Amino acid sequence: MLKGALIGCGFFAINQLHAWRDIAGEGGAAIVALCDRDAARLAQVAAQFGIARTYTDAAAMLDAEELDFVDICTTAPSHRALVELVASHKLPVICQKPLAPTLEEAEAIVTACEKAGVPLMVHENFRWQSAIRAVRGVIDSGRIGSVFWGRVSFRSAFDVFSGQPYLAEGERFILEDLGVHALDVARFLLGDVSKLTATTKRVNPRIKGEDVATALMEHEGGVTGIMDCSYASKLEEELFPQTLVEIDGTEGSIRLGAGYRLTVTDADGTEYRDVSPPLLPWAERPWHNIQESVLAIQKHWVQSLNGGAQLETSGTDNLKTLRLVEACYHSAATGLPVEPAAL
Ligand code: NAD
Ligand code: 89Y
């Protein structure tokens, strides 16, 4: 069984710790030590998960513990220092999205891990949701022919600020926080992006950053893509945190609609499937699709450390997603198309 430590015991880490406990139950990996600079929070989470070895200082933990990997679940400003620290101990590292506040810092993180020769996985989990994997499965089956158009859409008015107050405080909001997932899903389903144009808007006057963004993308294989996300959309039915997908191919189409309804039309007609995520024993609606994807990505990590899988959401891969985020901000600021590879 692999031994891991987790740094950052805040809002989202609870999901990761539940998933690690499931994975430990299967003999894959266990979290043996916890770190948070907030001693009270650390004690509370350690008690909740029965983890005895705790530290308020990451360096002290890494000096004291015998580990196989480290999972970092702090917010972006702390990522570079923490990943570099873990890499200096020659340990494989998982880091939450967004990998860093700037592309330059993200590149430095990836370089540090490369130089240390340690695997780096970004906890970029939306593409691991079973509904998104189901869409990809249909594309790969060839049933809808050659894909020529797609849309990845996330529209909501869910109050994310009460659980994650820092989201209201940054100059950047939705593209950095949520668009990073939607753009990664667009890459996963439609391919890498050669050029994009984007707009952003702030609708909610109580936050600092943009809460609406739309991107028109030219994907490398010739597909036209749209990514749109909003936390200012008051809809009849609140769909948080569902990502909706539309894909058109030469022989048919795919729609991932509200309520995880998958509609596939091909030469033989239309098929409807319920691709709802399983409700894990520790999961809570409406977060259950995200929670399920946390378990999936962490299982992927263990499989990859054991030599059974190529890391899909590696740091190097994630730089391509972060270039799309950055390209959207550049395009929105200048009104011009941007080639992400040139950033
Ligand atoms: P949070 O502020 O609730 O928790 C972060 C914790 O890290 C805090 O307890 C803080 O004390 C601790 N911390 C910060 N720097 C530290 C350091 N240097 N050493 C030790 N402890 C340190 O944040 P959160 O809402 O849990 O978000 C964490 C990350 O998870 C963010 O990057 C966020 O974007 C991401 N997130 C991802 C998803 C997803 O679906 N992938 C969902 C929500 C949040
Ligand atoms: O931080 C975000 C994420 O990664 O998924 C949803 C979220 O919690 C709020 O936008």
Each residue's pLDDT tens digit, 114-137: 999 999 999 999 999 999 999 999
Which residue out of 74, 129, 291, 300 has the highest number of ligand 1 atoms within 8 Å of its CB and is therefore the one to mutate?
74
| CA–CA separation, 335 and 200 (whole Å) | 10
From the centroid of its chain, how far is CA 145? 28
Atom of ligand 1 nearest to the CA of 13: 26
Q: Is 241 in the pocket of ligand 2 (CB under 6 A)?
A: yes
> If you measure from the C-alpha of residue 71 to the centroid of ligand 1, how many angstroms do you get, rounded to a whole number?
11
Supply the ipTM of this predicted assembly. 0.99
Each residue's pLDDT tens digit, 148-180: 999 999 999 999 999 999 999 999 999 999 999
Kindly compute the dihedral angle of the four CA atoms of residues 146, 149, 151, 152, in this order, to the nearest 10 degrees. 40
Neighbours of 72 (CB within 10 A): 22
pLDDT computed for residue 118 by the predictor: 97
In this structure, which residue's CA is closest to atom 32 in ligand 1?
75
> If you measure from the C-alpha of residue 319 to the centroid of ligand 2, how many angstroms do you get, rounded to a whole number?
19
pLDDT computed for residue 309 by the predictor: 85
Atom of ligand 1 nearest to the CA of 166: 2
Span 188-213, mean pLDDT?
98
Q: Is 189 in the pocket of ligand 1 (CB under 6 A)?
A: no
Give the closest ligand to the alpha carbon of residue 156: 2
Residue reference for tokens 């030599």: 307
Which residue out of 17, 36, 183 has the highest number of ligand 1 atoms within 8 Å of its CB and is therefore the one to mutate?
36
Bridge pairing between strands 212-219 and 193-201: antiparallel
Q: Is 269 exposed, middle or buried (0-12, 13-18, 19+ CB in 10 A)?
A: exposed
| CA–CA separation, 33 and 38 (whole Å) | 15
CA dihedral for 40, 42, 43, 45, sign (positive or negative) = positive
| CA–CA separation, 219 and 190 (whole Å) | 7
CB 232 within 8 A of CB 197: no
Q: Long-range contacts for 11-14 (Cβ within 8 Å, ≥24 apart)?
A: 11/163, 11/164, 12/73, 12/96, 13/45, 13/73, 14/45, 14/48
> Does residue 196 register a pLDDT over 90?
yes
CB 254 within 8 A of CB 244: no
Span 312-329, mean pLDDT?
98
Q: How confident is the model at residue 321 (pLDDT cuts 50, 70, 90)?
A: very high
> If you measure from the C-alpha of residue 177 to the centroid of ligand 2, how many angstroms do you get, rounded to a whole number?
6
Q: Is 326 in the pocket of ligand 2 (CB under 6 A)?
A: no
Q: How confident is the model at residue 2 (pLDDT cuts 50, 70, 90)?
A: very high
Nearest to 54 by CA among 8, 86, 114: 8
Q: How confident is the model at residue 36 (pLDDT cuts 50, 70, 90)?
A: very high
| CA–CA separation, 197 and 26 (whole Å) | 45
Atom of ligand 1 nearest to the CA of 12: 26
Span 277-301, mean pLDDT?
97
Domains and CATH numbers, the chain: 2-123 (3.40.50.720), 126-284+312-342 (3.30.360.10)
Q: Is 35 in the pocket of ligand 1 (CB under 6 A)?
A: yes
**Helix axis angle, 130-141 to 180-190, nearest 10°:** 20
pLDDT computed for residue 339 by the predictor: 98
Write the Ramachandran bin of 22: left for phi over 0, alpha for psi from -120 to 50, otherwise beta: alpha
> If you measure from the C-alpha of residue 150 to the centroid of ligand 1, how many angstroms do you get, rounded to a whole number?
32
Q: Calculate the average pLDDT of the chain.
A: 98
In this structure, which residue's CA is closest to atom 7 in ligand 2?
178
Atom of ligand 1 nearest to the CA of 10: 4
> If you measure from the C-alpha of residue 89 to the centroid of ligand 2, how many angstroms do you get, rounded to a whole number?
30
Span 233-243, mean pLDDT?
98
| CA–CA separation, 166 and 221 (whole Å) | 37
pLDDT computed for residue 308 by the predictor: 84
Each residue's pLDDT tens digit, 86-102: 999 999 999 999 999 99
